[in-house]
A = this chain, B = another copy of it.
Amino acid sequence: MGLTFVLDGEGRPVYSVSYAGRPVVLPSRLGFVLSADSSFFTGFVLRGQERRVVDTVWRPVWGEVAAIRDHYEELTVHLERMGRWLDIVFRVFADGVGFRYVFPKQAGLRYFVVGDELTEFRMAGDHKTFWIPGDYDTNEYPYTTSSLSSVDNAALVAASTAIAVRVAPDRYAVQTPLMMKSADGLYLNIHEAALVGYPAMQLHVDHASLTLRASLVPDCVGNKAYLHAPFATPWRTIIVSDKAADILASKMILNLNEPSKLASTDWIHPMKFCGVWWEMQTGKGTWSYSDYPDSVDARGQLIPSGRHSANTANVKRYIDFAAANHLGGVLVEGWNVGWEDWFGNWKENVFDFVTPYPDFDVREVTAYAASKGVAMIMHNETSGSATNYERQMDTAFRFMKGWGYGAVKTGYVGRIIPRGEHHDGQWMAEHYVRVASIAAAYHIMLDAHEPVRPTGLQRTYPNWLACEAARGNEYNAFSDGNAPEHETILPFTRLMGGPMDYTPGIFRLRGYSTVAGRQVHTTLAKQLALYVTLYSPLQMAADLPENYAAHMDAFQFIRDVPVDWDDTKILEAEPGDYVTIARKEKGAANWFLGAITDENARTVDVPLAFLEPGRKYKATIYKDGVGADWKTNPEAYAIETMTVDSKGRLRVQLAPGGGAAVSIRPL
């Protein structure tokens, strides 16, 4: 990696990035518009600079690998403009460059407002780009692949009726992580690391100059951030390689985050789980107990609709299933009162997070789960009312601990309260970190749905296991679905920031919905492969027990696949086309391999050189059956076993929209 930094003739900070002599970021501007100084991007004088080299290794609490090398050269430049100071810190890694702004403690800049951040990334060509619209409130869009100069989100935003809330005022803006590929085969990924106390960065695409310009999510009065020096912004990250696999293997974003702030982490346990959820997504059951909030009897009690999924008996069925199948936890959504009119009213006080519906017996469920050795996972849907959640958060967490819940799934469906704030603005960015931090104080693990997309903060708060913040498998249930290429793009985009609770493992791929024509856009074998290709320490077995019962031979892979790893090998990958990954189970000699393709059939043919030399393994291959096809024959699969070693190769055929999952255990 090459980095240059200069002040131009007018004292404007300018940087550029190259990779093996090839331009990656052409000279691009840096700086701000501040409340205290509207020209905090020009007229700077270089007052000093420092360089250092760091090369250390750290061990994540959980992750894709057991140890991570953090190796970079750092350049800090001290700039002054009319008595006000700005530092810019660059870190150059083998796989990319990160930089952040630091406002040092200074008399002339204490409290100030960021009107705009002017960071630019001027591209060297009209790259092929994998993008979703820049939206202040959601990342739940399908990906578009186009040239940079063709980015225009207007039609996509207008068509995305399945999203609860969307605010995309700039038709030429895109979200990060943004994945690009140059005509000459360079892979580029732009994102940010350590989003703390600052709004999310989206990117405005200037078609003419092929320049990406930082676009911070504003608050309700149009300000971007309220800062108090000393303050360091999140890192702006540029990961580059001529091999797509290197992008997925990069640990740069994690390395740019702070080490764990938690006093202890022995209570953090990655796990698989099942739960009362797909029933509601597919229309079999409901979150709510009654059909309408005014369905009340003479005593004012809600009249049950009879379709409420989170009832004690049904939940015990899931507990039984989890206990029988090596799933650590059970998630129950819709257990607490308020779901009859929880959504879409910009209503501040929806849930109290501690009052169950009459048919959900917390005591009985807790006791039953404990007797079966299954952990219960709490569900706290906020309906976007962060103020209400913050008021009651201590009460909610005390309730969880009182009943032995060690994990919570939060949700932020709908418009944010404080009204006028956005999911991705500074206030909410602070909120998510606050929730993670308070949850940690209670020894509770966190899985946040509908938050800002992650930026590697799982290093700092390792109890923050996963986020949603993208189109998950659920879109196959309640919309026209995710395109077959969707899961080949996610690792290069959304997952660059952190694990996603994608909820894979749907076995009944058609006929599950009350809406005609709906189907999951993968084969069954691809659903298995996702447990490996979409990394998360929290993986749901999302389908219904009865649907798994029909294919327990295939379910064996879900039983076996771990969620924490000692090593990971990105064997081959191309965004939008295919991903093949092998991972070694944490503390064991077993390997698991996942391979997926887009809408095109594909032959995987990869060496098994990652296996321990001289050792024999039994490989169990869960693959697409003959004639399998995501659209016409998704549930056809085949299971075969063979003996393999490090000198061999794995060759397996993937159907259109298909995949393969392989467990490889020492003989």
Contact = CB atoms under 8 A, between A and B. Distances in A.
- Determine which residue in A113, A219, A420 has the highest number of CB atoms from chain B within 10 A of its CB, and name it: A420
A228 B347 contact: yes
Interface string A343-361: 0011110000000000000
Interface residues of A, number: 27
Contacts of A394: 394
Contacts of A258: none
A345 B227 CA distance: 10
A346 B294 CA distance: 42
Contact of A348 (B226, B346, B348): B226
B341 A419 contact: no
B387 A219 contact: no
A220 interface: yes
A346 B348 CA distance: 23
A220 B105 contact: no
B221 A294 contact: no
Interface string A222-247: 01001010000000000000000000
A279 interface: no
Interface string A392-419: 0110000000000000000000000011
A478 to B, nearest CB: 22
Per assembly, the copies of the chain total 2
A111 B347 contact: yes
A220 B113 CA distance: 18
Contacts of A501: none
B420 A219 contact: yes
Interface of A is mostly: loop
A18 to B, nearest CB: 41
A284 interface: no
A24 to B, nearest CB: 38
Contacts of A110: 341, 345
Contacts of A421: 418
Given A294-B105, A390-B387, A391-B390, A419 B228 contact: no
Contact of A219 (B113, B223, B419): B419
A468 B346 CA distance: 32
A420 B221 contact: yes
Contacts of A348: 226, 430
B221 A419 contact: yes
Contacts of A220: 220-221, 418-420
Contacts of A228: 345, 347
Contacts of A427: 418-419
Contacts of A219: 419-420
Contact of A345 (B111, B387, B419, B420): B111
- Determine which residue in A221, A226, A391, A418 has the highest number of CB atoms from chain B within 10 A of its CB, and name it: A418
A221 B421 CA distance: 10
Interface in A191-239: 219-221, 223, 226, 228
A349 B639 CA distance: 58
Interface in A580-596: none
Interface in A11-41: none
Contacts of A430: 348
Contacts of A345: 110-111, 226, 228
Nearest to A346: B226
Interface in A403-452: 418-421, 427, 430
Contacts of A226: 345-348, 419
A327 to B, nearest CB: 35
Contacts of A390: 387, 390-391
A103 to B, nearest CB: 14
A345 B294 CA distance: 45
Interface string A90-123: 0000000000000001000011010000000000
A250 B379 CA distance: 52
Contacts of A420: 219-221, 418-420
A220 B415 CA distance: 14
Nearest to A294: B105
A219 B418 CA distance: 10
A226 B387 CA distance: 15
Contacts of A341: 110-111
Nearest to A386: B387
A121 to B, nearest CB: 30
- Determine which residue in A228, A341, A394, A419 has the highest number of CB atoms from chain B within 10 A of its CB, and name it: A419
Nearest to A344: B111
Contact of A391 (B113, B346, B391, B419): B391
Interface in A111-166: 111, 113
A219 B111 CA distance: 25
A113 B346 CA distance: 10
Nearest to A105: B294
A294 B106 CA distance: 10
Interface in A332-389: 341, 345-348, 387
10 contacts: A110-B341, A111-B346, A220-B419, A221-B419, A226-B419, A348-B430, A387-B418, A418-B418, A418-B419, A418-B420
Interface of A: 105, 110-111, 113, 219-221, 223, 226, 228, 294, 341, 345-348, 387, 390-391, 393-394, 418-421, 427, 430
A-B complex: 6 closest residue pairs judged by Cβ atoms: A418-B418, A111-B345, A220-B420, A220-B220, A221-B420, A420-B420
Given A111-B341, A226-B348, 7 more contacts: A113-B346, A220-B419, A220-B420, A221-B419, A221-B420, A391-B393, A419-B420
